[in-house]
Chain A
Amino acid sequence: MTEVSVAKDAAPAADGLVVLKNVNKHFGALHVLQDIDLTVARGEVVVVIGPSGSGKSTLCRTINRLETIDSGDIAIDGRPLPQEGRELARLRADVGMVFQSFNLFAHKTVLENVMLGQVKVRKADKKAAEEKARALLDRVGVGTQADKYPAQLSGGQQQRVAIARALAMDPKVMLFDEPTSALDPEMINEVLEVMQQLARDGMTMVVVTHEMGFARSAANRVVFMADGKIVEQATPDQFFSNPRSDRAKDFLSKILHH
């Protein structure tokens, strides 16, 4: 009980790695993010779920400023997000992002995809970068595909390469924007397993997903969004077995009883 209320009353801001305060955003007339307060502690895995159009992807993308916000504050590791420019680029290097559509660089091989950021952004030595890239590709289980182009890989393999590409920057936090939504069903698990492993290794993660199994097993906290608001947040156990809000009950009844 105490654990739940701690989670609900937003974790202490002091050790928050990602802190969103009173964030608002509009797309034209649509108020996609309404007074969002969210704190993600170091090492915490936060899974954001909710119906389509609830603003979860937008929320995820505001954290590394791929989407700008209209008002409010976002800070990462105690530093507010800077304006577009060099400083923002530096900060983005510390925030890994995995997209629904993989977005691997189509004109580069798998190995080059994982090396590019290290060499061009971190100014790492080419040899060291290649070693690290190969180690990461092995870790996500696509080491043998290093010299292929992204288009030659299956969706699941591409997404694992995308995770390796993000990890190559040694990010402080990883953002996952519906990482399995564009995958064939038999490939979802290979990606989720990599993410599970990351979570066990203590990576701070914000995961927007429809995979309730992943939310149950890997999340420290589930954030439920609807209509641009955070409606409810709790531990997975608490949320799935005993949701408090009607909106969450309705959502769960629709997705869990099929």
Chain B
Amino acid sequence: MNVLLDHLPEFREGFIGTVLLTLASGLLAMVLGVVIAGFRVSPIAPLRFFGTAWVTLFRNTPLTLLFLVAWFVVPVIFAPGLNPWTKALLALGFYTSAFVCEAVRSGINTVPLGQAEAARSIGMTFFQTLRLIVLPQATRTVIPPLSSIFIALTKNSAIAGAFSVTELFGVQKLLSDKGFAIAWIFLWVAIGYLVITFTISGLFRLLERRMGVAR
């Protein structure tokens, strides 16, 4: 019990670390996911191929493996001198973007084809059609799966702790190494995650209700 009060700064730092990492990689995954989903439904074959390859690669690779690649391969080949936080951001963001992409794509597929045809027949480009007509109507269907994806992302960010990024799960390792009672540490860490995931699902439920009223 006291382990929380005695180490409040560590827990707080870990909690904030998890929130920030989740927010940043969630944002990255969102942007990438929507863009890649656009690629996957585009009339241009190379873009479609790239999108499919992206999803296949990142959806089918274990996240831990992506972390290892981010830590030991990316610095050697692409970008040396990345700090651990950025590497964790990239691994989590890229991995999650594949799932966001597929959720967005399933949303796009629920919008009747006639909507896009009508948009194209008044002279909209593919990009305009997607941005102005299809994506806004896909949003409603995409919100429930996105909620699950972001909750999964929150929990996946724990892997970053094993790679010595300051976040909530890492606090557990730190304190149990010091010999504190594991059960209490686990409980507080779990509650920390619950706070974040409940907030996410609450926010998304709110968003869902807001969208349900409009139109």
Number of residue pairs A-B, CB distance < 8 angstroms: 70
Which residues of B are in contact with A by a Cβ distance under 8 Å? 43, 112, 114-115, 117-126, 128, 132-133, 136-137, 214-215
Assess the A84–B215 pair: CB atoms within 8 A: no
- Whether the Cβ atoms of B114 and A121 lie closer than 8 Å is no
Q: Are A89 and B132 in contact (CB under 8 A)?
A: no
Which residues of A are found within 8 Å of B137, using beta-carbon distances?
106-107
Asked if B123 contacts A169 (CB within 8 A), the reply is yes
- Give Cα A84 to B47, complex, Å: 15
Question: Are B118 and A104 in contact (CB-based, < 8 A)?
Answer: yes
Query: Is A207 interfacial (CB 8 A cutoff)?
Result: no
Q: Which of A40-48, A69-77, A93-101, A191-199 contacts B (4 or more CB under 8 A)?
A: A93-101
Residue of A nearest to B131 (CB): A120
Residues in B neighbouring A94, C-beta threshold 8 A: 123
A149 interface residue per 8 A CB criterion: yes
* A117 to B, closest residue via Cβ: B122
Residues of B near A240 (CB, < 8 A) are: none
Question: A: which residues have CB within 8 A of B?
Answer: 64, 66, 84-86, 89-97, 99, 101, 103-107, 116-117, 120-122, 149, 151, 162, 165-166, 169
Please determine whether A99 and B215 come into contact, CB atoms closer than 8 angstroms.
no
Q: A106-B137, A106-B215, A149-B215 are in contact. Are A92 and B122 (CB under 8 A)?
A: yes
Could you tell me if A92 and B136 are in contact, using CB atoms closer than 8 angstroms?
A: no
Q: Judging by beta carbons under 8 Å apart, are B122 and A106 in contact?
A: no
| Chain A residues whose C-beta falls within 8 Å of the C-beta of B117 in the assembled complex | 66, 97, 99, 103
A18 to chain B, nearest CB (A): 15
Cα A79 to Cα B26 in complex, Å, equals 47
- Say how far B170's CB is from chain A's closest CB, in angstroms: 44
Asked whether, in the complex, the Cβ of A89 is within 8 Å of the Cβ of B123, the reply is yes
Tell me which residues across on chain A come within 8 A of B128, comparing CB atoms. Answer: 120-121
Question: For residue A93, which residues in chain B have a CB less than 8 angstroms away from its CB?
Answer: 122-123
The 6 closest A-B pairs by CB, nearest first: A93-B123, A117-B122, A103-B118, A103-B114, A97-B121, A121-B123
Indicate if the CB atoms of B123 and A103 lie closer than 8 Å. Answer: no
Give chain A nearest CB distance to B148 CB in angstroms.
24
CB distance from B37 to the nearest CB of A (A): 18
A105 touches B115 (CB 8 A): yes
Indicate which residue in A84, A120, A166 contacts B124 across the interface (CB closer than 8 Å): A120
Question: How far, in angstroms, from A6 to B189 measured CA to CA in the complex?
Answer: 86
